[in-house]
Amino acid sequence: MLLLPVVHVWAYTARFTDLFDPRNPLIQLLVMSMMFGTLVMAAAAPEAFGRNGLVFAGAYVTVRVGVLAVGVLLLRGHEGQRNAVRLLFWVGVPAVPWMTGAFLPAGARGAL
């Protein structure tokens, strides 16, 4: 069950580097941030339904929302900004259950 968010961030990172020039220093910084978030998620995964639930969910939400928020700023004046804002909304909606689940007992986390 935890493999899906890790693979999702990995695929998201691959898609991000496909859309933008990976030689741009800002893009490289964002990719390194996504890689660090994935590393944190992987380290927290063994206890994600226990004491590391907030770390896992926080890293996942930070990577997803943070990169899109920076993308909205980077795309200022570009036609792709509208899509980035739309994606930011749709990524922000499930961020609420992710973070809520991090504070609930282990049984309820799986349901969320």
What are the extents of the domains in the chain?
3-111
**108 close to 101: Cβ distance less than 8 angstroms:** yes
Task: Give the tens place of pLDDT for each residue, 43-76.
Answer: 999 988 888 889 999 999 999 999 889 888 888 8
Q: Please give the sequence-ordered ranges of beta strands (E in DSSP) within the chain, or none if there are none.
A: none
Residues 6+ apart with CB under 8 A from 77: none
CA distance 54 to 22: 31
- Which pair of tokens denotes residue 51? 């004491």
Task: Give the tens place of pLDDT for each residue, 71-100.
Answer: 888 888 888 788 889 989 998 999 998 898
